[in-house]
Amino acid sequence: MEGNVVLALGLTLFAGLATGVGALIAFFTSRTNKKFLSVALGFSAGVMIYVSLIEIFVKAKDALVAAHGETQGYWLTVIGFFGGIVFIALIDRFIPQGNNPHEVKTVEDVHDAQSHAPKIEEDKLMKMGMFTALAIGIHNFPEGIATFMSAMQDPNVGIAIAIAVAIHNVPEGIAVAIPIFFATGNRIKAFKLSFLSGLAEPIGALIAFLILMPFLTDTMFGIVFAAVAGIMVFISLDELLPAAKKYDETHLSIYGLVAGMAVMALSLLLLA
């Protein structure tokens, strides 16, 4: 149990701090590798969708059916699944579109920001940068809970989800670093805030550990795990796939999606 907790917290920290990698890419490269990002985001979506519907949803249903019977257990699973979708959708709903860190940005936007930064008042820029850092923190919080809960139940599934979330967070880090740099004109400050905003994921994991774990009955586990599946599916359909298609020039995002599903399926078979 203790080993699983350490691993689960470590995985959420790894996934969250990938935002810092995105910031570094934004500042130290001159062009966005759109083909790679398209495949990587599609791959991440494939991993999340497959593991959510084939593994996480099924385990949630098994736990709830064992506790409440076939009919009521299945109903609770479906309610938990769509409850997770509503939860993450509401978070997205209350983040204004222009400041949403999941909006696609490219490395080239950094250079545009650098040329425009001096033209806007400093106080407005700082407010914009801090709000963007807060926005990504709010977005990443439920992802931390999802990664932690998955790793606690099955470390192999947790590792796969952490890698998928980390891939997702790299371009997200670019999206955060760009408006913060636009706001401050300071690369170091933009990197720090982008890096620190990723800490929302391990904080979400800590809250899940401190609040949820002590009361984790079969019913609560099943509902939370079903909600995790819903959160992952929503993130994939609402954020990863649209971003992958925006970077895409051919069908690379779909090839990445299928590859992610295949790799996840193979890993579950081999580790079963």
Q: How far is CA 12 from the centre of its chain?
A: 10
Q: How do residues 156-175 score in pLDDT, each as one tens digit?
A: 888 888 888 888 787 777 76
End-to-end CA separation in angstroms for the chain: 20
Average pLDDT score over the chain:
79
pTM reported for the whole predicted model: 0.72
- Ranked by mean pLDDT, the top range of 37-41, 77-81, 216-220, 261-265 is 77-81
Task: Tell me how far apart the alpha carbons of residues 56 and 53 are, in angstroms, rounded to a whole number.
Answer: 6
181 phi and psi, to 5 degrees?
Answer: -65, -40
Residues 118 and 126 sit within 8 Å (Cβ to Cβ):
no
What's residue 158's pLDDT? 86
**Separation CA 128–CA 75 (nearest Å):** 43
